[in-house]
Structure 1
Amino acid sequence: MAHNHHSDRHAGHHHHDHTDVDWAEMGPELEAQAELFTPLYEHTMAWLAKRQTEPGLIVDAGSGPGVIACLLADTFPGARVVAVDASEPLLARAGARAGRLGVADRFGTLTGELPDVLDDLDYPADLLWVGRTLHHLGDQRAALAAFAARLAVGGTLALQEGGLSARYLPRDVGFGRPGLQARLDALEEEWFAAMRADLPGTVVETEDWPALLAAAGLRPSGTRTFLLDLPAPTTDRARAYVAATLTRTRDGIGDHLEADDRATLDRLLDPDDKASVYHRPDLFLLAAQTVYTAVRTK
C-alpha cells in the first residue's frame, strides 16, 4: 500500500492519504527516506531473526519501494520475499532494488489493495511484516484477522505501529516561540484523527496492539522499540529528510498554524537563511518506532 504523510508522525515510511499521488515521482524520495532509517531497521531485523528462525516465505505488506523488503531478504538468506503494495511504480522500484542487491532470484511482488490481495499468495507466510500500514485500513481488527489467516502455523506477524514523533530541532531554535515541534505534533494528531475518521469502513479501536493481535487469534510474543539516533551536526541526507518532512507539514497543515509559527517554519525552510534546517549546526534526527510480534499457534 502506497502511503504519503505530510509530517513526521510516522517517520521513515510512506503513508496513504487517499489522494492522487504520482508514486513514480515520489518513489526516489520515499526510497531515500527509508534508506536513512536503515540503522533502525537493521536492529529490528536482528531482533526478528531471533523470534522467527529460517522462514520460508516472508511478506512485506505495504512495502513501498522495497527498502525493508530487501533488508528482510538480506536478514533471511533462505527465504523467498514478496513485496506487496497497491502502487505498481513503487513495486517496480522494489524489484529493481532487489536486482541491484543480488536477491532478485528469491524476490517477488504482488500488486493490490490490502488485506484482500494477500489471498493471491501461493502459500501461507512464515513472517508477515506490516510496517505502518495497518492504521491506514479502516477496520484494523478485521485487517489483522485477515493477516493472521495468511500466516502458516508457527508463523509470526510483525506489526510496526506507534513509537514517538521524530525530533530534529531544539525546543528554542533562536527565533519565534519556543516549542514549535510540540505544536506541530498537536496539529498532526488532529490531522491523523481526521484521516482515520475519513477512511472507508473505519472502526474506532483502542490502540492496544497486543490485545488486537490476540483478538485475531494470535499469541503476542514480544514488543520492542527501536531508535534512530543521528546526532548534531547531522548528515546531509538527514537534513534533506527534515526539509522534506517540514515542507510536507507546511503544505499539509500550514493553514492551521498561528502566523508566528508559519513565519518560523518558512524561515526554517529558506535555503538562503543560515538559521534554516539546511545549514544550522544543531540539527539532529531522533526517532523511536515500536514493533509488536505475535505467533499463529493453530
Structure 2
Amino acid sequence: MAAHTHDDIDWAGRITALRRADELHAPIHEEIAARLVEQLGPTPVIVDAGSGAGGMSAAFAVALARHGGGQLVLVDAVPELLDVACTAARVAIEQAPAAEATGPPAEAVSALSDSPGVSVAPSASVSLGTEQAEVEQARAEIDGAAAAATVGRGHPGPGAAPTALATVEIDSVLADVASVALDQVVPRADLVWAASMVHHLPDQQAGVAGLVSALKPGGMLALVEGSPPTHCLPWDLGVGTPGLERRLLAARDHWFGQMRAGMADAVRMPYGWNLALGKAGLERTASFSRLVDFPAPLDAAVRDYVVQHIAWLGSTVDELVTQEDRDALRVLLDPVDPAYLGLRDDVYVLGARTVHLGFLP
C-alpha cells in the first residue's frame, strides 16, 4: 500500500478525491499563488512540500510563468502523487492564456530537468493495481481538461502583441520531509509552501524547522494549517438523528488525536502556528484566510464533491460513531436511495483556507 510514512493513510488510493478537491479550490489556489509570487524577486525558486495531487503546484506554475519564470520543485513521499502533481503543473501552463503572461517569449515548460543538489524523480507511474488506475485516470482527466481549454481559444486581434509565457522549470523530489531536512534534497528557495502536511509529521515544530532550512535569506515559508472545518449538510437530513455532520466532525477530531498519539516519536505542539513559525526563526509572521463558499443549490460537480467528502469523513471515523450514524451514512451515500446526498438541493460547501507565513531574516 502506498501511504505517507507516518499516518498510514493510503494517499495514492485517494488521488481521484484529491483531484476533485483541487478542482473545487482552484480559484482560491490561483489567488493565493498569485499573492505570494508577486512578493518574490525575479526567477524565484518555489518548493511545494507535500505537493499532493498538484492543485497548488498548478497554480504556482502558472503564477511563475506570468511572473517572468523560475523553478518549481515538487516534493512528496508518495510517488503516485508526484506523478499526478507534475502532470497537473505541466498542463496548467500549457492551457494558461498566453495573453495574460509576463516575461520574454520562451518555451512554456522545462519539465523534470536535473538541477545541482536536487534528487529528481521522473514523472512516470511506478504503481500497480488500484493506485495505477487512480494515476492513469487523473492523468487522463488533466489532459482532457487541457485539450478542452484549447478549443475556441482566440488569437490576439489586429495590432495586438502576443506575449508568451516565461519558462518554468518543474522538478520533482521523492522525499519524506520528516526523515530528511528539506535543504538536503532541494535547492535554496525563495518560497517554501506546505499545505495540510506538517500536522501529519510526528514532530510538527521540527517539521517547520526542516522546511525553514531550505529558505534563502529573506525567503518566505507559507503553511496552510489550522483552517476551520468544512460544513456541507443541513442540521436535520430526515435520516437518523439531527446533527450528523457535527458528530462526524467531532469524531474526526478524536480520530486525529488518536492518529497523532499512535505515531512513533510523536511530539506535542501546544501553541499556534504563528508561534511555531517564530520558534523556527522566522520574522514578520502573519496569516490570512480565503473563504470557500458554494451556496445551495449546487451544480452536479460540487454535489459530487460533497458526496466524496462526507464518504471520506464517514470512513475515517467509522469506528468512532454510533451504529445509528453508520446506518444513516449508508442511506445518504447510496445512489439508488431517495435520500442520496447527490440528489439534494440543500447541500452546500462552506469552509476556509488559512495561510500562515513568515520570512527568514
- Shared fold (TM-score, shorter chain, > 0.5): yes
2:176 matched to which residue of 1? 113
Conserved? CA contact 1:210–1:220, under 8 Å: no
* TM-score (norm: length of structure 2): 0.73
* TM-score (norm: length of structure 1): 0.88
Tell me the distance in 2 between the aligned counterparts of 1:80 and 1:159.
Answer: 19
Name the CA shift for 1:292/1:53 in 2 (closer, same or farther; >3 Å): farther
Say yes or no: does 1:177 pair with 2:167: no
1:104 matched to which residue of 2? 109
Q: How many residues align?
A: 284
Of 271, 296, 304, which residue of structure 2 is paired with 1:240? 304
Tell me the distance in 1 between the aligned counterparts of 2:343 and 2:296.
Answer: 11
How many Å apart are 1:50 and its aligned residue? 4.7
> Which stretch of the first structure deviates more once superposed, 246-255 or 61-70?
246-255
How many Å apart are 1:34 and its aligned residue? 1.4
Say yes or no: does 1:37 pair with 2:25: yes
1:93 matched to which residue of 2? 84
Secondary structure of the residue that 2:7 maps to in structure 1? coil
Deviations 1:33-81 (A, max 9, x none): 2121112222322332354454610000000122211201111222210
Of 73, 79, 83, which residue of structure 1 is paired with 2:74? 83
Tell me the distance in 2 between the aligned counterparts of 1:221 and 1:255.
Answer: 39
Q: Aligned runs of 1:101-180 on 2, under 5 Å?
A: 101=92, 102=94, 104-105=109-110, 106-115=169-178, 116=180, 118-121=182-185, 123-180=187-244
**Structure 2 unaligned blocks of 5 or more:** 95-107, 111-168
How many Å apart are 1:3 and its aligned residue? 6.8
1:282 matched to which residue of 2? 346
1:273 matched to which residue of 2? 337
1:11 matched to which residue of 2? none
Name the CA shift for 1:179/1:54 in 2 (closer, same or farther; >3 Å): farther
Of 257, 264, 276, which residue of structure 2 is paired with 1:200? 264
**Identical residues among aligned pairs (%):** 33
Tell me the distance in 2 between the aligned counterparts of 1:46 and 1:220.
Answer: 19
How many Å apart are 1:217 and its aligned residue? 0.6
1:10 matched to which residue of 2? none
> What one-letter code is carried by the residue in structure 1 that aligns with 2:54?
G
Say yes or no: does 1:48 pair with 2:111: no
1:17 matched to which residue of 2? 7
How many Å apart are 1:90 and its aligned residue? 1.4
> Which stretch of the first structure deviates more once superposed, 218-227 or 276-285?
218-227
How many Å apart are 1:22 and its aligned residue? 6.8
> What one-letter code is carried by the residue in structure 1 that aligns with 2:26?
T
Higher relative contact order (CA 8 A, sep 6+): 1
Name the CA shift for 1:294/1:135 in 2 (closer, same or farther; >3 Å): same
